[in-house]
Structure 1
Amino acid sequence: MKRYWFQLLTENYDELGALIPDGSSKTTATNRAKRWMQQNGIDSAVLEVSSMATSNILDMILIEL
């Protein structure tokens, strides 16, 4: 069951436009975000994790390559 939806943001919280599928695993989403960042030359970003049920932001994960 999909519990989270994800957005990849700059350090200034602007959306990067990366497609990260909804899901139940933060680890899988983080790995997909890292792959996208490598392909697009992004060194640092924030992965926003939001609840599918409430749309509340649950976590902000800093990703640095």
Structure 2
Amino acid sequence: MCSVTNIQQVKWQLHADMEKLKDIDEQIAGAERAMSLLAERRRELVNRLGLNKPDHDPEAA
């Protein structure tokens, strides 16, 4: 009977670990989306400020 309990515990632990892995993967995907959005916003600001030009002059923008 002890081995049946251990098998059940292993199954439950596997299920719990798979759920945690799924949750972490979702968090990573969300963080990647946030990074992409922030990079896009940064590019827009760099372009607006003219910082991507060789002789950038914020006053000329």
| Greater relative contact order structure (CA < 8 Å, 6+ sep) | 1
Higher share of residues assigned strand? 1
Higher helix share: 2
TM-score calculated relative to the size of structure 2 = 0.31
